[in-house]
Structure formats: C-alpha cells, structure tokens
Amino acid sequence: MLDWSKITTVLLDMDGTILDLHFDTYFWLEHLPKRYSEATGMSQAEAKQKLVEHYQEVTGTIAWYCLDYWAEQTKMPIKTLKREIQHLIKLREDADEFLVALRETGREIILVTNAHPDALSLKIERTQLDKYFDKLYSTHEFGATKESQLLWQRLHTKQPFALDNTLFVDDSLPILKSAQRFGIQHLLAVANPDSQQPNNVITEFPAITNFKTLVADIRQHPV
C-alpha cells in the first residue's frame, strides 16, 4: 500500500485521523444544538436544522473551523460548551503504536489540523498528543485551510518537506485531493474516523481502518 522506504516525513491530520472524530460529531450535531435550543427557545430539531444549514454554507473555509466565528454567530460560549463533553476526546485506539513506530524509526512527524488553536489546545490537554510530534500546526496561523492550495504553499514555505518523501494522512477526501494537487506523493485515507459511525467506502486513495496494520512495515524501513 505504501512504500515506507521512501517516506521520511509524515504529515498527519488530527480529528478523525489521530483522534476519534466522535467528540466533534457529537458536539456539532447533538450538544451544540441542544444548548442552542435551550438558549433560543426553539426546538432541538429546529436548532439542529438551522445550525447544519449554516455549517454547510461555510464548509471548508476558515469560518467553519473557527470557534470564535461560531461563538459570534450563535452568541454561545463555544469553548465552554466543548469542555462540557471533553471526556469524549480521545486518541484512536490504534494511534499510539503507529505514532511510536514513526518516531522510533526516525521519521519527522508533523500535525497539520484545520482545528482552531483553542480546540487544539484542549485536545492536547486531554490526550497529551503533542508528545508524539516534532511540530504541530493549526492552519489558522496560515489564514487558509487544507482544502486550499494556499495553505500548502504557506506551510511548505514555513516547514519545508520533500514532496517525494512525504506521506499525508487525513480522513477528508477533499483535503487529500488538495494535498495531491500540491504534489505530495504518498497519501493515505482513514476510512473509520468516527468510532460510533460505519466505515466510509473509499476508492480514490489507499485507505485503512487500523494503523496497527502498518507498524511492521514501518519498522522494517527505518530512516
């Protein structure tokens, strides 16, 4: 599936790739609609419909991933509300062994997430995921999302990596396609980002449901 003899840098998404996406799914589709309905007096179904329609309008943009934007739009304390269900934040069960193998074989490991810096900080606080990485980036610092070529250009300028020797892993097909357009040679999709949802069917890219299946091959090809 992947030629680990040619991979020296690994760029990893966070939510749905290293962390279970269930926290985010539940927050945006259940918890926020519930709290929003309580604050506005509309039914939870109405609140959810209104929010989802708004989500769809800004999907893929910085606004979609921006906690400050949603706090302003909903007049709700988004960061506080996230802490109400922070117990749901967790690493994928197969992530630790995979990340340790990458580190022990000498690869550069970089987190590239569209998550807002405050969301990233909360998740680091809950999981200590920063211990696995050489560098962690929120795309907010670049003013563009991974769906945009501008992000990859700006990231590559600040954090140079060899396109031919870099693997990028994400659960979003539009983002993987954006990375492919930029020229990253090794791409991998995560087909089961949310532990509480069915696996996705992915045909456009190599895809996995368990990082542990990669570990032996990684260890056979140290950098």
Cα gap 111→37, rounded to integer Å: 35
Nearest CA among 191, 190, 187 for reference residue 166: 187
**Tens digits of pLDDT across the chain (223 residues):** 899 999 999 999 999 999 999 999 999 999 999 999 999 999 999 999 999 999 999 988 999 999 999 999 999 999 999 999 999 999 999 999 999 999 999 999 999 999 999 999 999 999 999 999 999 999 999 999 999 999 999 999 999 999 999 999 999 999 999 999 999 999 999 999 999 999 999 999 999 999 999 999 999 999 9
pLDDT tens digits for range 75-92: 999 999 999 999 999 999
Cβ-in-10-Å burial (0-12, 13-18, 19+) of 105 comes to middle
For the four alpha carbons of 114, 189, 208 and 63, in that order, the dihedral sign comes to positive
**What would the CATH number be for the domain defined by 4-20+90-220?**
3.40.50.1000
Task: Give me the residue label for tokens 């910085």.
Answer: 62
Domain with CATH 3.40.50.1000 in the chain: 4-20+90-220
> Using one digit for the tens of pLDDT, what is the confidence trace for 155-199?
999 999 999 999 999 999 999 999 999 999 999 999 999 999 999
